[in-house]
Amino acid sequence: MASVSVILLSVLFAALVYRLFANLRSKRSSPPLPPGPPKWPILGNLPQLGPRPHQAMAAMARKYGPLLHLRFGVADVVVAASGSVAEQFLKVHDTNFLSRPPNTGAKLVAYNYQDMVNAPYGPRWRLKRKITTVHLFSSKALEDYRHVRQEEVALLITGLAKAGSSAIKVGQLLNLCITNALGRVMLGYRVFGDGSGKSDPKADEFKSMVVEAMVVGGAFNIGDFVPALDWLDLQGLVARMKKVHKRLDAFLTRIIDEHKVNVGEGGQNNLLSTLLSLKEDGDGDGDGEDGKLTNIEIKALFLNMFVAGTDTSASTVEWAITEFIRNPKVLARLQEELDSVVGRDRLVSEQDLPQLTYLQAVVKELFRLHPPTPLAIPRMAAESCEINGYHIPKGATALINVWAIGRDPAEWTDPLEFKPERFLPGGEKAHVDLKGNDFELIPFGGGRRICAGLIMGLRTVQLLTASVAHSFNWDLPAGQDPEKLSTDEAFGLTLQRAEPLLVHPRPRLAQHVYQV
C-alpha cells in the first residue's frame, strides 16, 4: 500500500511540475499586454483620467506609446493614440471590434441599447443602419432636402444680422438652426422658434438636454467597472442619466404624438412617417428580418438623430468662429475665396461647396484640432487578438483617441497650430480625406460602424462654416483680446467649449442679403 501511495504522489508531483512548466512556456510564448501606467488598487487607472480623459490618455501615450493598456476596475481597456494603431482596430481587425461594451449610459439614456449607435452588431443594427442610410443619408435624400438646410441657414444669418450691438451666444443659435433643419427633414416642421432665426427658450432648454446627455454619456461611470460599487452611484451619474432620459423621452414622445395630429408642412414626406410605416404591432423584439421597428426603436433612432446630429455640428462651427477670431489671416483668406466664388450679393449655397478649396481645408483643420467626438464610441473585442505584437484580451474595451491622433507630432507639423494650408495641393496632407480612409484624420470613425451621418454632417459643417465666414466679421466683447481667447474644452461625447462663445457679428455683405 505504501508503495502505491508513493507512486500516486510521484505521478501527482510530476503532473504539477509539468503544468507549472507548461504555464511558464505559455507565458513566455504569449505576447504581453500593451504598456501603460501603474494601476491603483481596485480602481485601476480611473483616478488618473481627470476631468478631460482624452487629454490624460494623450499624455499617457506620449510616455508609454500609441497603444496603451489601462485597467478600469475589473475591465481591460486598450487605447489607440495614433493613426496606424487606429487602423489596426478599425480596418485590419474591424470584424473583431464591431460591438459595444455594456455601459450604463446606453442602458439608461439610449433605451437599453435599442438605438443604432449602441446596438449590438447584428440584424437589428443592420436594419436601423439601412433605414437611416436610405431615407435620411442617401445622396437622393441629401439632395431632396438641400433647400431645407439652405433655408434654415438663411434664417440663422438673418437672425445674427439683427443682433445689433448685443453680444450673442452663437452656439445656441447654431444649435437652433441645425435642430430645425433636422426637424423639417425628420418631422416635416420646425421643432423650435417662429422661423425668425432668433433664439427660443425651448430650443435653449433642448440644447441643455443634449449637452447633458453628451456629458453623462461620455463620462466613465465607476459602477460600470467596479460592479460592487454600482449601487452607491458615487459620481451621481446614474441619477443624472435617469433624469436626462426622462426629459428627452418626454420631448420625443411629444413630437411623435404631435405628428399624429398634424404632419406639418412636409406632408407625409418625412422620416417619422416612413418609420411609423415600418412599425411593428406592439413592442415585440423582432429579429430584424421583417424590416419592422418597435415604438421604442423609433424613439431611440430619433434620439440618435437629434442628439448626435445637432450638437456635434453646432459645436464644430462654434470652434470655427473661435479659430477665425484667433486667426484673422485664415478668415481673410477664406473670405477672399468666398467673395470670388459667391460674391457679396447672395448667400453661400451647397452647390458652391465643391468650388471652395480653401473652405474644405479649413473644415478638415477644424475636425483635426476640434473633433466632434474626442474619444470614439467604445468598441469591444469579441475574441482575443494580437495588435502590433501585443495581446488584446477577449472582452477588452477599445478606445480610439481621435483628439490625440489629430495632434500626433509624428503625423502633423506644428500640430497645435491652426493651419488649413496643410490640406491644400502641395501641403503635407493634401491627400487626406474625412471619410475614414486616412486614419490620421477620423472625426467620424472608421470601419463598418463609421458614423452613418458622415456626409450630412460634413455638408452641414461646410455650409455653416462658409456662411458665417462669408456673411460676417466677428468681434469679441469690448476689452477681450482675440489672442487670449480661451480654447479650454469641456469633456463629453462631444467636444464643447468650456465656456460658450460670446461674440458680435458684423455684417459684410449687401444689405438685401440679410432680408429673408
Q: CB-hemisphere CA count at 13 Å for 15?
A: 6
* CA gap 177, 192 in Å, rounded: 9
Q: What is the mean pLDDT of residues 352-358?
A: 98
CB 141 within 8 A of CB 135: yes
CB 100 within 8 A of CB 378: yes
Specify the amino acid at residue 230.
D
CB 223 within 8 A of CB 229: yes
CA angle (316 as vertex; 133, 151 as ends), nearest 5: 65
When pLDDT is cut at 50, 70 and 90, the band that residue 372 belongs to is very high
pLDDT above 90: residue 187: no
pLDDT of residue 192: 85
Instruction: Name residues whose C-beta falls within 8 Å of residue 223's C-beta, 6 or more positions apart in sequence.
Output: 104, 229, 230, 231, 232, 233, 234, 237, 238
Q: Which three cell numbers stand for residue 76?
A: 481591460
Q: What is the mean pLDDT of residues 480-503?
A: 91
pLDDT above 50: residue 5: no
Instruction: Name residues whose C-beta falls within 8 Å of residue 108's C-beta, 6 or more positions apart in sequence.
Output: 238, 241, 242, 245
Percent of the chain surpassing pLDDT 90: 72
Percent of the chain surpassing pLDDT 70: 89
The full set of domain ranges for the chain reads: 31-514
Q: Which three cell numbers stand for residue 4?
A: 502505491
**Sheet order of strands, 67-72 included:** 67-72, 75-80, 397-400, 379-380
Instruction: Name residues whose C-beta falls within 8 Å of residue 7's C-beta, 6 or more positions apart in sequence.
Output: none
DSSP state of 497: E
Q: Which segment of 108-122, 256-270, 287-301, 418-432 scores lowest on mean pLDDT? A: 256-270
SS3 313: helix
* CA gap 103, 124 in Å, rounded: 19
| Fold topology of 31-514 | Cytochrome p450 (1.10.630)
Annotated binding site: 451
State the residue for C-alpha cell 439632395: 143
pLDDT of residue 166: 80
* CA gap 197, 157 in Å, rounded: 8
pLDDT of residue 199: 67
pTM (2 d.p.): 0.90
pLDDT (tens digit per residue) in 124-182: 999 999 988 988 888 998 999 999 999 999 999 999 998 877 889 999 999 999 999 99
CA 43 to each of CA 39, 75, 509: distance values in angstroms, whole numbers, following the listed order: 8, 10, 57
* CA gap 289, 293 in Å, rounded: 10
pLDDT (tens digit per residue) in 396-409: 999 999 999 999 99
pLDDT of residue 283: 43
Give the residue, 169 or 195, on which the prediction is more confident: 169
pLDDT of residue 363: 98
Backbone angles phi, psi at 466, to 5 degrees: -60, -40
* CA gap 397, 399 in Å, rounded: 7
Q: Which three cell numbers stand for residue 342?
A: 459667391
When pLDDT is cut at 50, 70 and 90, the band that residue 493 belongs to is confident
Annotated binding site for heme: 451
State the residue for C-alpha cell 495588435: 387
Nearest to 189 by CA among 140, 261, 137, 276: 261
When pLDDT is cut at 50, 70 and 90, the band that residue 19 belongs to is low
pLDDT of residue 291: 67
When pLDDT is cut at 50, 70 and 90, the band that residue 227 belongs to is very high
Could you write out the DSSP letters of every residue in 108-175? Answer: HTTTTTTSSSSSPSSHHHHHHHHHHHHHTSSHHHHHHTHHHHHHHHHHHHHHHHTTTT--EEHHHHHH
pLDDT of residue 487: 93
Between 123-135 and 295-308, two packed helices, what is the crossing angle to 10 degrees? 60
- pLDDT, the chain, mean: 89
Q: What is the mean pLDDT of residues 237-262?
A: 89
